[in-house]
A and B are shown apart, each in its own frame.
Chain A
Amino acid sequence: MISWLAYYDDVIGHMFVLMILAFSMYVVMRVGVFSVASIGFWAIAGYGAAIADQYDVPPLLIVGGALLVSGVFGLLLALLAVRLSGLSLTMVTIAFVLLLQVIVLNWEDVTGGSLGIFGLPVHIGTYGLLAVVIVVAVLLALYERGRTGRAQDSLLHDEQLAQSVGIDIRRQRIVALTLSALLGGLAGCLNVFQTGMMVSNEVGFHVVVDALTMVILGGTAAWYGPVIGAAILAWLPQMLSFADEWRLAVQGVIIVVVLVFAPQGAAGLIQRLARGVAAKRRSSLLKRREPQDVSA
């Protein structure tokens, strides 16, 4: 067991980083928004962390800075984006990521161009990442059980209904987009701390596909959706060792198949199963009680 953990330490650590990125996607998807801005903040924070690291800035300060920058830019983007509806909002976030891609590739002096920035110290291990994931997951779970979280549930199901019962969708979306930016930035920063490098691929198309695979596969029904999605994505390369070059294709097929056949993803299926079991138990309890009622 110990040797297995040691052998797969990198995979497990990366899985935790992916979980935070998945959380970042998840919080916006839950309010009925398809945004890929998470990947933008993942990239901004990643490059920011890598560059600061070269100047030996203390890691905690880097994390703080990454959160601050992501939060501020996230809020700005959110304020612009909530004026738009549905696909237009999606479009703006994609444009944002595409622009960053152009900047990263062209601003070679700072970003290292297509090669990226290498050979940075590793600041965080698997247990540290696990701790961060647990903290984030607990906070999200609490948030979901709170008033705001419940508001988002109704938002997911019916936008008009939510509005009619006095839920401020605009504010909800601003909160979700900003939170998503913070989590995306955190994930990007931790990614650099774990791997010791930042490459231009991390702004590219494949991160968008990764992020979507996680959040679609896991589903947005509950906080454990992205956890499941990230766990599967992290182990996908091990499972597909025969065809690493086809990984993108496999993920693409997964996205389409899940969307068509199980749109609620893994978390949705689990919830439905749990509900089914609960209903069955309830009905069997009722049945058992029936004779007593008759005798009484």
Chain B
Amino acid sequence: MSGYFVDAMILGSIYALFTVGLSLSWGILGVLNLAHGSIFMAGALSAYMITSAGALPLAVVLPASMLVSGGLVVLMELVAFRPIRRRAANPLAAELPMAIASVGVSSVLVAFANNFTAGYSLSLPQDMFTVSSINILGLTITNIGALIVVFAIGLTVALGLYVARSRQGRALKVIAQDSYVGGLLGISMNRLALGTMFISGALAGCGGVLFSIHVNSMHAYMGEALLLKAFAVIVVGGIGSIWGAAIGAYVLAAAEVLAVVSVGVGMRDVVAFVLIIVILLARPQGLLSKRKWQRS
């Protein structure tokens, strides 16, 4: 029983690391970044490339990979999203072209990874991080599993507090509601977009590296399946909500583990889709989102 709990915690943590950034860029900037899965993969791939140049510990490789994946999304913002936003008649008109452009970028990243890996699965070197079992509060968990949970909760809480409390966090909320008024108040959407995009990419990259150590494998399409999960998480948590994404991630993971235990492995990937459809049918605005600030 406790094994299932540990599984769900690790799975949920990966979902959280993956989804928080995706939800944030969607909610605040209207960017549905469909390359997010490829960015997750790029994090893992860059870790592989860095370690193949020389033996380095995870403490060095992880930040470096997060820098790479964050930098890639910043590059997307500069090369694709910003020019599209500038040309669009209004912020809403930019949303669809930006989403389509992200598929284009994803395609480039996948092609690169496919060529680099020659279509095979790779694993990160053992000397970067040695996986072993540890015991915490009576639960048996691998050290990488524990690290995933710690990183997911730590980074999500830190980001959530930052957005809730800081000057920039408040500005993000303004941009999300009304980018026109943001400009009039002296808020530079372009600058905030760069920051948001970097954080979004870095979190995904972090997830990618840790996940590829956890399952001891990485390949060009490893992020694609996560996109379906992330959509379910966002639908549960509400678009743009950090806390919502975190809660949604663990809810989905728990539901998946439960489905596997009670029905069978085949059900695992169907859960997410069913959640999406059922919630959208019942509450198109998302399960946890509220609209109490609107005057009737």
Q: List residues of chain A with CB under 8 Å of any chain B CB.
A: 32-34, 80, 83-84, 86-88, 90-92, 94-96, 98-99, 102, 106, 205-206, 208-209, 212, 216, 245-249, 251-256, 259-260, 263
The residue on A at minimum CB distance from B270 is A99
Contacts of A91 in B (CB 8 A): 32, 231, 234-235, 276
Report the minimal beta-carbon distance from B220 to chain A, rounded to whole angstroms: 9
Which of A96, A206, A259 has the largest number of chain B CB atoms within 10 A? Answer: A259
A2 and B30 CA atoms in complex are apart in Å by 52
27 contacts between A and B (CB under 8 A): A33-B96, A34-B96, A34-B100, A86-B96, A87-B96, A87-B99, A91-B276, A92-B280, A95-B231, A98-B227, A205-B106, A205-B224, A206-B107, A216-B100, A246-B115, A248-B110, A248-B114, A249-B108, A249-B112, A251-B104, A251-B107, A252-B108, A253-B104, A255-B100, A255-B103, A256-B104, A259-B104
Interface 1/0s, chain B 236-260, versus A by CB < 8 A? 0001000000000000000000000
Count class of interface residues, chain B: 35 or more
Residues from chain B with Cβ under 8 Å of A246 in the complex? 111, 115
B105 within 8 A of A: yes
B84 contacts across to A, CB distance below 8 A: 259-260, 263
Is B97 interfacial (CB-CB < 8 Å)? yes
* B144 at interface by CB-CB < 8 Å: no
How far does the alpha carbon of A91 sit from the alpha carbon of B104 in the complex, in Å?
A: 16
Whole-angstrom distance between the alpha carbons of A32 and B89 in the complex? 14
Contact B280 A84 (CB under 8 A): yes
**Nearest CB of chain B from residue A146's CB, rounded to whole Å:** 25
Please judge, given known A-B contacts A86-B92, A256-B79, whether A95 and B276 are in contact too, CB under 8 Å: yes
Given known A246-B115, A255-B104, contact A205–B221 (CB-CB < 8 A): yes
B residues in contact (CB < 8 Å) with A: 26, 30, 32, 34, 79-80, 83-84, 87, 92, 95-97, 99-101, 103-108, 110-112, 114-115, 221, 224-225, 227-228, 231-232, 234-235, 239, 266, 269-270, 272-273, 276-277, 280-281, 284
Do B281 and A80 touch (CB < 8 A)? yes
Return chain A residues, CB-CB under 8 Å to B96: 32-34, 86-87, 90
How many Å lie between the Cα of A247 and that of B269 in the bound state? Answer: 30
> Majority SS of interface residues in chain B?
helix
Nearest-neighbour CB distance to chain A for B106, whole angstroms, equals: 7
Cβ-defined contact, B221 with A90, below 8 A:
no
- Tell me which residues across on chain B come within 8 A of A90, comparing CB atoms: 32, 96, 99
With A87-B99, A99-B273 in contact, is A252–B105 under 8 Å at CB? yes
In the assembled complex, which residues on chain B have CB atoms less than 8 Å from the CB atom of A86?
92, 95-96
Cβ A205 vs Cβ B111 within 8 A: no
Residue of A nearest to B277 (CB): A80
Which of A32, A254, A255 has most B Cβ within 10 Å? A255
Q: Please indicate the chain A residues that have their CB under 8 angstroms from the CB of B239 in the complex.
A: 88
Selected from B92, B99, B106, B272, the residue in CB contact (under 8 A) with A252 is B106
Nearest B residue to A158 via CB reads: B89
Complex partner residue of A209 from B99, B103, B269, CB under 8 angstroms: B103
* A98/B111 contact (C-beta < 8 A), A87-B95, A251-B104 known: no
B281 nearest CB across to chain A (Å): 7
User: Cβ of B235: which chain A residues have Cβ within 8 Å of it?
Assistant: 91
9 new A-B pairs (CB below 8 Å) besides A91-B234, A252-B107, A255-B101? A80-B277, A83-B280, A83-B281, A87-B96, A90-B99, A91-B32, A95-B232, A212-B100, A255-B103
Once the chains are docked, how many angstroms separate the CA of A206 from the CA of B106?
Answer: 10
Query: A248–B273 contact, CB under 8 A?
Result: no
**Residues of B contacting A87 in the complex (Cβ-Cβ under 8 angstroms):** 26, 30, 32, 95-96, 99
Contact B276 A247 (CB under 8 A): no
What distance in Å separates the Cβ of A38 from its nearest Cβ neighbour in chain B? 14
Given contacts A87-B30, A99-B270, A259-B84, contact A34 B104 (CB under 8 A): no
Complex CA–CA separation, A246 to B112 (angstroms):
8
**Within 8 Å CB of B30, what residues of A?**
87
B206 to chain A, nearest CB (A): 23
In the complex, the answer to whether B281 meets A259 with C-beta atoms within 8 Å is no
Task: State in angstroms the CA–CA spacing of A205 and B106 once bound together.
Answer: 10
A258 to chain B, nearest CB (A): 9
Which of B83, B103, B266, B281 is most buried by chain A, counting CB atoms within 10 A of its CB?
B103
